[in-house]
Amino acid sequence: MITFLICFAVLVGAYFIYGRYLERTIGADPDREPPCRSRYDGVDYLPLPKWKTFLIQLLNIAGLGPIFGALLGAMYGPVAFLWITLGGILIGGLHDYVSGMISMKMGGLSLPEIVGRYLGPVMKQSMRAVTLLLMVLVGAVFLVGPAGILQGMTGMNQSTWIWIILLYYILATLLPIDKIIGRIYPLFGAALFFMALGILYVLLFDAYTIPELSAGNWHNFKTDAARFPIFPTLFITIACGAVSGFHATQSPLMARCLQNEQQGKPVFFGAMISESLIALVWAAAGMAFWGGPEELNTTLAEHGDNAAWAVNEITRTTLGKFGAVLALLGVVVAPITSGDSAFRSARLIAADFLHLEQRAIRRRLYISIPLFVVGFAITLMNFGVIWQYFAWVNQTLAAVTLWTITVYLTVRHKNFWIALLPSIFMTQVVTLYILIAPEGLLLPYWTGFGIANAINAFITILFFRYRIRRCNDIFPENEGDEGDEEDKEHEDSPVDNRNGSELPIR
């Protein structure tokens, strides 16, 4: 219990201390005109209240990640607490806050365009392809999964549910963000919080024992520990709740709705810390509910490592009928809301690189129809082979985003070490994983570790020897820190919809 409480307190404290440091480092200016006003279009660029943007951002980045991932990560033992806490603050918090703020300072630009700005045209083209595929794949998976669950609950044919959910996705993707997402996401985001608070109350005041992280517990509790080493497998298993590249694809949605830059800390950093707190609670619940990480491994193995079953069992037992309703919201609604925001992000990513403004509905249809056709086609395929690479691609996306942040801070003469060290760490994680994992090259662990070290060292040397010099050629050293350069770069952007019209008061 002591380890859990310390980690919980550190996460809360980090919001005020480290969050404030990041805010000063990035230069959050409350007087700078936000994209929701300078580029207002009434569809994607429009001001929303801070509390709404926070809950929307939380649900966008969370979904089932901090629940399912945390439960599966708890199978490694109390070391999961350490990764959720330090990862959520030093890597995930930095990743989400700075990438969201860069997007806001660059007019709400999507991730691939930002990466291209700082890592070059080759990375930009690669990120365009990868993020679009990732978004459509997420949308397709979160179309089929909930439809299957709803079929089992209602008896209605799965294909019927797929069409119903697809219709919702189309409306949520095409309509202005305040019409559907802005109205229902806060409700479901609050439900995610209430579920976690209910589980937290049970853990603190009922007869449950949360394992401590001690010298005796500092080892891998997985049944087949040799096949699933803590480093790097734990850091791939627990993504949402620690760090997830998917988050950086979602932040531009809220970067286009925040009303000033100082709202970035509670929305971007605050949502990440909140997600880490939720993940911490669920990791503790997984270990405590069945009596320890060994028992958790045994129980989940008997049920095919089905995290959805575990969530239902924990909530139904500890929270009764109310818990069963919350579990339903978590297992069905959370993935649906992640799916619709994935398709909406895909539309915005495509619109940015096609230079197609989105005020007119027909322009949104030009982009959305092909995306939904591809997404529906994926549901008819056996995409299991593709999906098994999702976790690795997601964390690789996080590593690329962290390197982008490192260069961004470097060329503005900020403290780039706060991003460089996480970049090196995550590069080591994703490189080693693909070298030794069953879906990778299956190399011996230490062979893969040596190769990953060499690759990581090469990338780091490139950063110090070439990237800084190149970026200083592009961005003059006397460039201001107030974001003037971002304005100049994007003042003629096709998503810039200044029309002099008066904004609605919200």
Structure tokens at 240: 């949402």
For 125-159, b where at least 16 C-beta lie within 10 A, e where not — what string? Answer: ebbbebbbebbbbbbbbbbbbbbebbbeeeeeeee
In a domain, 493, yes or no: no
In a domain, 470, yes or no: no
Average pLDDT by consecutive 10-residue portion of the chain (506 residues)? Answer: 96 98 96 96 96 93 86 96 98 98 97 94 94 91 84 86 93 94 87 87 92 92 93 95 96 97 98 97 96 95 90 88 76 84 95 93 94 89 74 96 95 94 98 95 97 97 76 49 45 39 36
The answer to whether 110 touches 348, Cβ cutoff 8 Å, is: yes
| pLDDT at res. 389 | 87
| pLDDT at res. 470 | 59
The answer to whether 294 touches 275, Cβ cutoff 8 Å, is: no
In a domain, 299, yes or no: yes
Structure tokens at 27: 């230069």
Distance CA 394, CA 246 (A): 6
Domain holding 200, by residue range, is 2-217+237-388
Please report, for the domain that includes residue 38, its CATH number.
Answer: 1.20.1740.10
In the chain, how many domains are there? 1
The answer to whether 110 touches 349, Cβ cutoff 8 Å, is: yes
Distance CA 305, CA 409 (A): 41
In a domain, 466, yes or no: no
In a domain, 59, yes or no: yes
In a domain, 459, yes or no: no
In a domain, 462, yes or no: no
| pLDDT at res. 39 | 96
In a domain, 93, yes or no: yes
Distance CA 66, CA 54 (A): 16
